[in-house]
Structure 1
Amino acid sequence: MPAVPGGVYQTQGPSCMDRIKMGFFLGFCVGMASGALFGGFSALRGGLRGKELVNTVGKVMMQGGGSFGTFLAIGSGLRC
């Protein structure tokens, strides 16, 4: 049986939009984690407890995730 030429079964990689979405998702997750750490410590140091603590940490997590996700998506888009 003859060997199959190398170019016949090549698969395509992810599209540029897929890379941008993956960059945003990865950056969002990293930003959420860092926002939970830094926001949680600063809110506890500020004396927040209960509902105020949860609201403040949630807000910091969303802001950190959104901003870091945006920057990583832009970086991924520039590399396409």
Structure 2
Amino acid sequence: MPVTGSVYGGSPQRSTPKCWDRVKYGFAMGMCVGLASGGVFGGVNALRLGLRGRELLSSMAKVMIQGGGTFGTFMAIGTAIRC
């Protein structure tokens, strides 16, 4: 019977990711969630303040990057604790 690969796409000998890989995946997942929530909350807040055009985009981008970095850091720390 042939040996199949793992769900993570690695070799069959290493079926689970290493701790550092889990931390990176946690950061990436947190970054995506933070970017999405930052886009929603930053967009609503910028529209409420009456920003339009370039001001709206720069304000949203700033909030998205801040939210993504913060949430990604906390997700990476939480994942590292679980390793």
Q: TM-score, normalised by structure 1?
A: 0.86
Which amino acid is the alignment partner of residue 45 of structure 2?
S
The match for 2:28 among 25, 30, 34 is 25
Gaps of 5+ in 2: 1-11
What is the CA–CA distance in structure 2 between the aligned matches of 1:29 and 1:12, rounded to whole Å?
A: 25
Structure 1 residue runs of 4 or more that deviate by more than 2 Å after TM superposition: 9-12
1:16-55 alignment runs, 5 A limit: 16-55=19-58
CA RMSD of aligned residues (A): 1.1
Q: Does 1:79 align with 2:77?
A: no
Structure number, greater radius of gyration:
1
The match for 1:56 among 39, 56, 59 is 59
Can you list the C-alpha shifts for 1:48-69, whole angstroms capped at 9, x where unaligned? 0000000000000000000000
Question: Which of 1 and 2 has higher RCO (CA within 8 Å, sep 6+)?
Answer: 1
**Alignment size in residue pairs:** 72
Shift of 1:12: 3.0
> What's the % identity of the aligned pairs?
60
Gaps of 5+ in 1: 1-8
Q: TM-score, normalised by structure 2?
A: 0.83
